[in-house]
A = this chain, B = another copy of it.
C-alpha cells in the first residue's frame, strides 16, 4: 500500500545500506568501517560537550569545526561546509549544482548512491563505462553537460585516479561543477585538494566515517570555492538549519586535530591491506589494486555470492553487489590483522 505517497517517491528506488547487525557476533567487513576506535581526543571532546548546553541549539554555521578543517587543509573557513555525513552533503550537491535536462557524467560502476540521487532529484546521467581493468577512461568524462561526479579512490573497486587524470577532467569541464568524493582518499590515493584554488568549479567531499573511525557520529565535509559552499548552505537552510549536533561538532574537531592517531591508524590499515592482499593472492584470488580501506576481489571459477554466503555462515560479513559487471566480486573491508587472518582461514575452508 502506498496511499498518500507523492509522485516524487511512489516509484523511487532508495539506497540499501550494508547490513548493520544488532548483535556483535560477526566479524564485520561489509560497510568499510574502521577497525580502530575513534581518537581519544575525539572521545574526550565529546565527553566535554556532554552537559547542560545540549539544551541549546548547535552553532548552525559549525564555525569552530569548519575552522579546524580549514586549518588542517590550508583553506579559509568560507571554503568548508559541514554536514550530517558525506551522504547528506552529496544529496545537497545534486540539488545545488545540477539541472534536470543536463546530463551528469559518472562512472557506470561507482558509489551506489550517485544514480539514486540523480533519479530522486529528477536528473539525467551519462554513465561512462569503466574499462576492463575497472579504470576510468577520463577522456570520456570531457564536456559534461550538467556536471561530473567521481569517487577517488573509486568504490567498490578501490582503484585510484591519478592527479593528472583528475586535472584533465577539470580542464575539460570548466563550465560545470566537478565533484570528487574522497571518502577513502586517506588510504593511499592523492587528494585533489591542490586544485581547489585554481578551479572554482571543483568540490571535494570527505567524511569522518572511514579514516577517522567515526561512522557512528555522522559528519562529512565539503571543500571548494566559497561560492559553491554558499550554494550548499542555501540547500541546507531550505531543509534543516542544524543538521550537525553539538556532540558531533565537538568530536569532529578532536578527530581532525589528532594527527598522530590518524596517521597511526590509517597506516596500520594500509599495512594490513597489503598483508591481506598477499595472503589472498596466494589462495588464488584476483584482487584489484586498492587505495582504500577495502579490497575488491574475485575468485576465478567460484561464485562470489556463494562465497559471501559461506563467509556469513562462518560469522564474517562482506559485501556482494547484485549488479552487472561486478556480481562476481566481493568487497571486503580491511579489519584488524586478527580479523583478516580469520577471513583467510574461512576462505581456505570454503575453497577446499
Chain A: residues with CB nearer than 8 A to chain B? 1-9, 12, 14-17, 20, 22, 28, 31, 33-38, 43, 46-47, 50-60, 63, 84-85, 87-88, 91, 95-99, 116-117, 120, 176-177, 200-201, 209, 213-218, 227-228, 230-231, 233-248, 251
**Known contacts A216-B53, A216-B58: A97-B246 contact under CB 8 Å:** no
The listed residue with most B CB atoms (<10 A of its CB), out of A213, A234, A236, A238, is A238
**Known contacts A238-B120, A241-B87: A56-B215 contact under CB 8 Å:** yes
Contact pick for A247, options B8, B34, B209, B217, CB 8 Å:
B217
Q: What is the minimal beta-carbon distance from A59 to any residue of chain B, in angstroms?
A: 6
Q: Is the CB of B57 within 8 A of A215?
A: yes
Q: What is the minimal beta-carbon distance from A24 to any residue of chain B, in angstroms?
A: 9
A209 contacts across to B, CB distance below 8 A: 57
A56 contacts across to B, CB distance below 8 A: 20, 28, 33, 215-216
Q: Is the CB of A245 within 8 A of B231?
A: no
Q: What is the minimal beta-carbon distance from A221 to any residue of chain B, in angstroms?
A: 15
Q: Is the CB of A17 within 8 A of B60?
A: yes
CA A176 to CA B4, docked complex, whole Å? 7
Q: Is the CB of A238 within 8 A of B116?
A: yes
Q: Is the CB of B17 within 8 A of A241?
A: yes
**Known contacts A217-B247, A234-B14, A247-B217: A33-B55 contact under CB 8 Å:** yes
Q: Is the CB of B15 within 8 A of A241?
A: yes
Q: Is the CB of B88 within 8 A of A4?
A: no
Q: What is the minimal beta-carbon distance from A36 to any residue of chain B, in angstroms?
A: 7
Q: Is the CB of B245 within 8 A of A216?
A: yes
Contact pick for A57, options B4, B14, B33, B63, CB 8 Å:
B33
**Known contacts A3-B200, A54-B217, A247-B217: A22-B240 contact under CB 8 Å:** no
A59 contacts across to B, CB distance below 8 A: 20, 22
CA A231 to CA B228, docked complex, whole Å? 31
Contact pick for A5, options B50, B51, B54, B231, CB 8 Å:
B231
